[in-house]
Amino acid sequence: MGTLKTLLAAVAGLAISASAAMADTTIKMVEVITSPPRTELLKKQIAEFEAANPGIKVELVSLPWGQAFEKFLTMVQAGDTPDVVEMPERWLALYANNGQLEDLAPYMAKWPDAGTIGERAKTFGSVAGGKQYMLPYGYYIRAMFWNKKLFKEAGMDKPPATMDEFVEASKKISAIQGKYGYCLRGGPGSYTGVNMFMNIAAGNGAQFTEDGTSTANSEGAVKGLQMLADLYKNGYAPKDSVSWGFNEIVTGFYSGTCAMLDQDPDALIGVAEKMPAEDFAVAPMPVGPNGKSYPTLGYAGWSMFADSEHKEESAKLIGALTAPEANLEWAKTVGVIPIHNGADKDPHFATEQFKGWFDELNDSAKYEFVTPPVHLENLGNFVDQVAIKNFQEVLLGQKDAKTVADEWAAFLTKEQQDWLAKNKK
């Protein structure tokens, strides 16, 4: 009898252990584009996912955006890979091309909401390796914020329509004591905007020629880089903007320190909280000499690591975070254009504040979107490390614009030509 009791106790113990093991399924998730509001929302959405999926827990690791590239790369190299990671588009090739990411397409095919995911999301998430190694959660599109009060004080009543008008407006506003024309971003994240101004000045959104030669040091591109250096040197941007990142430029705008800010919809969140709606607006990016503009279109999303031991659960989490209702909530809070078809009909996006972005989206003849060459494996390090240092050297007069543009072109040309050689059909 005692033996039977012992056996039954052992079986019961195994059942309890199995139950505990099921309840302890933990998905490790890393976010990298961090800020308090978005982390708070992500935690809320994770809590909702956990409540709907008993037995699955999500461990969230939040990396500071300024050091996220290095910190995450160090984690991966040490074998500390997460199940799910927030993937900026420029990091995608580094991990996808090394076979470290899972193809999400088979999992997405089972999702009830897969039918309304826009084709753009499927295309952009598959640019590296040709498989769905990332599902974007939204798009970052550049447009020009302008301070109506400061413009009026400087004798102007409309935003700059051309690059020449942009420079002139910067000059006029900077003549006001303690005010500056432009919220320059010289620190983390600066390259995207710099590259955009170079493209606009060059009248060319193509990053490379057919043989893989970079256009970064074309005559027009160098002029665009020099224009930014001159803005800074002439005092049309705050002196400390040489090291400004996202938070600093947004603060510079809503505090009334500087009158213009080129940014994505995510900047609208902070600005709208701090400024009366009647004091600012968002206009399309100014056009260059050829009458066209080349706003950047960036994106980020969710990826799963191929060595995850919880692939079904991880895919379920990504599906929940990008489902229509959750994605709309995310887009409104984080400041991106949603990925699902029909989301633009939501009243939140049908306002004057979104007009600049939708004007760009609706006029393909005048506005040509440029996406980063995210298929290049070493783009992340270049954008988040090398290019920032180089741009600061140009602003401070330590290197001239042509020298830096030549260095960038040499790096990008080698990367593109290596990629072309590897991907010859």
Please report the pLDDT score of residue 425 as a whole number: 58
Beta strand pairing call for 258-263 and 25-31: unpaired
Average pLDDT over every residue of 244-268? 95
In eight-state DSSP terms, residue 8 is: H
pLDDT in tens, 275-293: 999 999 999 999 999 999 9
Please report the pLDDT score of residue 17 as a whole number: 43
The answer to whether residue 413 scores a pLDDT higher than 90 is yes
Delimit the domains of the chain by residue range.
Answer: 25-140+298-349, 143-294+376-422
Query: What's the angle, vertex CA 247, arms to CA 349 and CA 296, rounded to 5?
Result: 55
The answer to whether residue 11 scores a pLDDT higher than 50 is no
Please report the pLDDT score of residue 201 as a whole number: 98
Average pLDDT over every residue of 382-403? 96
The answer to whether residue 51 scores a pLDDT higher than 60 is yes
The answer to whether residue 6 scores a pLDDT higher than 70 is no
SS3 of 96, please? helix
Distances (CA, A) of 75 to 50, 79, 81, 298, 385: 25, 6, 6, 25, 18
By the 8 A CB rule, do 269 and 65 touch? no
The answer to whether residue 313 scores a pLDDT higher than 70 is yes
Query: Which of 25, 55, 31, 56 is closest to 43 using CA atoms?
Result: 31
The answer to whether residue 399 scores a pLDDT higher than 70 is yes
Please report the pLDDT score of residue 393 as a whole number: 98
Q: Which CATH superfamily is 25-140+298-349 part of?
A: Periplasmic binding protein-like II (3.40.190.10)
Please report the pLDDT score of residue 129 as a whole number: 85
The answer to whether residue 304 scores a pLDDT higher than 50 is yes
Please report the pLDDT score of residue 346 as a whole number: 85
Please report the pLDDT score of residue 4 as a whole number: 45
Average pLDDT over every residue of 226-255? 97
The answer to whether residue 392 scores a pLDDT higher than 60 is yes
- Amino acid identity at 172: K
Distances (CA, A) of 255 to 235, 260, 276, 279, 356: 18, 12, 12, 12, 21
Which residue is listed with tokens 């213009």?
Answer: 260
Query: Which of 163, 353, 166, 175 is closest to 260 using CA atoms?
Result: 166
Q: Which of the pair, 153 or 118, is modelled with greater confidence?
A: 153
The answer to whether residue 222 scores a pLDDT higher than 80 is yes
Beta strand pairing call for 84-88 and 180-182: unpaired
pLDDT in tens, 23-38: 579 999 999 999 888 8
Burial 43-69 (b: 16+ CB within 10 A, else e): eebbeebbeebeebbbeeebbebbebb
The answer to whether residue 20 scores a pLDDT higher than 50 is no
Distances (CA, A) of 14 to 8, 23, 230, 255: 10, 14, 72, 62
- In order, the DSSP letters of 191-211 are HHHHHHHHHHHHT---SB-TT
Give the pLDDT band of residue 42 (cuts 50, 70, 90): very high
Give the pLDDT band of residue 266 (cuts 50, 70, 90): confident
Say yes or no: do domains 25-140+298-349 and 143-294+376-422 share a fold.
Answer: yes
- Amino acid identity at 421: A
- Reading the block at residue 155, the tokens are 């004798």
Please report the pLDDT score of residue 284 as a whole number: 95
Give 298's Cβ-side CA count (13 Å radius): 24
Query: Which of 124, 117, 125 is closest to 101 using CA atoms?
Result: 125
CA dist., res. 31 & res. 64, Å (int): 9
Give the pLDDT band of residue 228 (cuts 50, 70, 90): very high
Whole-number average pLDDT of the chain: 91
CA dist., res. 92 & res. 373, Å (int): 10
Neighbours of 71 (CB within 10 A): 14
Give the pLDDT band of residue 124 (cuts 50, 70, 90): confident
Classify domain 143-294+376-422 by CATH architecture: 3-Layer(aba) Sandwich (3.40)
Statement: the pTM of the whole predicted model exceeds 0.85: no
The answer to whether residue 14 scores a pLDDT higher than 50 is no
pLDDT in tens, 355-374: 888 788 778 789 998 988 87
